[in-house]
Amino acid sequence: HAGTLDPEATGVLAVALGEATKTVPYIADALKAYRFSVRLGQATNTDDAEGELVAVAASELVRQVTDEQIEAAIDSLRGSINQVPSSVSAIKVDGKRAYAKVRGGDEVKLAPRPVVVSRFEITSPARVVEEGAATYLDFDAVIECSSGTYIRALARDLGSKLGVGGHLTALRRTKINNYS
């Protein structure tokens, strides 16, 4: 197959059989596109909704985040950037997958890696979500990026840049190269 998807992700996963397996390196390293949803105001230990909450921002801080601030933070994540992958990624560390080490109780710090985010656009206005005493902002977006880009890490970094935390709540790969 041409690359992996996060366990909770859906969408395109290119699979090759027989002689077609020779094309996998060209497909795996190609542009990828995703639709996804982000929650601002919460951070998790896995940078997605499956993880344990590690921080919840004060409701008044979340309410102060504007669409313009979100767009400015997104703009800083476009182009050629160095991204620190999520500690629960499939990257190997000392011969074991990072996610396996984290699940085993180890702390994993991964080095930044160069990636390219050629498109990162909001497709729905931020929605205010009230859950008990907490307030969050949810929005949907699309992205086109290089191989090796971690969308959950972009959601985490966006929340960090805004000072309220953030994580991925849904992820669907829509395209690998010309396959959709």
pLDDT in tens, 31-55: 889 999 999 999 999 899 988 899 9
Q: What is the C-alpha to C-alpha distance for residues 173 and 180, in angstroms, rounded to an integer? A: 9
φ and ψ of 84, to 5 deg: -90, 115
Query: Could you tell me which residues come within 8 angstroms of residue 128 by beta carbon, excluding any fewer than 6 positions away?
Result: 63, 135, 136, 137
The pTM is what?
0.86
Q: Identify whether 6 is a catalytic site residue.
A: yes
Confidence of residue 23 (pLDDT cuts 50, 70, 90): low
pLDDT over 50 at 1, yes or no = no
Distances 23 to 29, 74, 84, 145 between C-alpha atoms, Å? 11, 33, 28, 20
- What percentage of the chain has pLDDT greater than the value 70? 83
6, 47, 48, 157: the catalytic one is 6
Higher pLDDT, 76 or 46: 76
| Cα distance from N-terminal residue to C-terminal residue, the chain | 15
